[in-house]
Structure 1
Amino acid sequence: MNESIMQIIERLKSRRPLQQLAPERIWDEALDAEIAAISLANPDAPEGIALKAGLHLWNDSLDRSHSYAQLIEDNPTGGYWHGLMHRMERDYSNAKYWFYQAGAHPVMDSLQKRASEWLLHEIDFKQLPEGEIRDMLYEVTKQPRWNPAAFTDSIALQGRGLGCEALRQVLEELQHIELLELIAYTLRAAEESERVSR
């Protein structure tokens, strides 16, 4: 994959503070223009379209991300990015619909492993306030596969004011892990598609 894409990804990986659960504006307008200008050997390939959808979403450009995700609604990765976009705009039922459409996406295994390990090694559940969000987060440490619908429910509870600052930070870190895993998967798929099209 070309160097400019890798530079975009590195910039997004290092953004601090982490991406909000419900971003209100594009994080970096200049970066959004760079993402839009990415040139791919096969611009109609679902893998490349998914990569642009993901990068725009990571930059809080929800509308642009949505326009790309809509082009590949029948693609599991496109469906997953579509679901994330709706979750970030607080359309939780629509988000869960798209997660269902994405099915048992291959990224859910590596994502589950990484999220569970982070929670078990970095979070003291006794220090988190009791309630549904903490219970849902604890469930992540025991479930066999990442459940984006259940994670969406946790974020919805936080959005309704049923969480606290500490829980928000945990949810944002898990969202960051989710984005890292999905962008890595999407990038590998786009690189493979580019190799095949040459």
Structure 2
Amino acid sequence: MHDFQPEQYGPKFAELLSIDRCRPLDEGQADRAAWDALSAMSPKTTFEPAAVADRTMAQACLSGVWLLYDYLDDSHNISQGISGPTGSFWHGIMHRREGDFSNAKYWFRNVGYHPVYEPLARVAEQLADQFDAAGVLPAGNWDAMAFVDACQQAVRRNTHAEFCRAVQQAEWELLFDHCYQQAIQ
């Protein structure tokens, strides 16, 4: 499994990331108590003491944090302005969570290959064993389309919902970490 430690992302992110990151598969309920902290995020201040080297990846991190707190529209406003595979990845997650599964697949097709896919495939296989969910996702390479389908089934029929939530958490954590590491290099 992967090991996500909020404190490794600096004090501002640590505070924002030290919540239950196992989010619902649907749009969830925006955390109104977090609005002020989320609204105050910026690439300059939120990454301190690290310096931002890649503003686009910094914006991707912010999109992810908005999504973590179930502010899908705010996440969407940022991710749709990020070109390339990473922006499409966050965009696809957001549309999957809002229940627009065909639009999510459109954005995942735009991702093509992403470096997060390899570790995500390994974690998903481990989680499949843990949740007795063998066969829900194809083994081997990460298949974003199959995961959209699994989430759709979980939302509509409550089939393997806990497994899908755990994979979604790993997906979020791995993608956030990737974006953060790229942002500060």
State the AA in 2 paired with 1:135.
G
Residue 123 of structure 1 pairs with residue 131 of structure 2:
yes
> Who is 1:105 aligned against?
114
Asked whether the equivalents of residues 32 and 61 of structure 1 are also in contact (C-alpha less than 8 Å), the reply is no
TM-score (norm 2): 0.83
- CA distance in 2 between partners of 1:119 and 1:34 (Å): 35
SS at match of 1:31: helix
| Aligned residue among 23, 29, 32 for 1:29 | 32
Give the aligned length.
170
Describe the shift of the 1:43–1:62 C-alpha distance in structure 2 as closer, same or farther (beyond 3 A).
farther
Q: Structure 1: give runs of 5+ residues left out of the alignment.
A: 126-133, 193-198
Query: How far 1:2 sits from its partner (Å)?
Result: 4.1
Shift of 1:44: 8.6
Q: Which amino acid aligns with 1:136?
A: V
Q: CA deviation at 1:189?
A: 1.5
Q: Alignment partner for residue 92 of structure 1, among 87, 94, 101?
A: 101
| Contact persistence 1:46–1:75 (CA under 8 A) | no
Tell whether 2:155 aligns with 1:159: yes
d(CA) in 2 for partners of 1:88 and 1:124? Answer: 23
Cα pair 1:158 1:168 within 8 Å, conserved: yes
**Residue 49 (structure 1) aligns with:** 59
Shift in Å at residue 36 of structure 1? 2.5
Alpha-carbon distance between aligned partners in 2 of 1:191 and 1:49, rounded to the nearest angstrom: 12
Letter in 1 for 2:14: M
- The SS at the match of 1:135 is coil
CA RMSD of aligned residues (A): 2.1
User: Which one has the bigger helix percentage?
Assistant: 1
Q: Identify the residue that residue 148 of structure 1 maps to in structure 2.
A: 144
Q: Secondary structure at the match of 1:170?
A: helix
Structure whose CA Rg is larger: 1
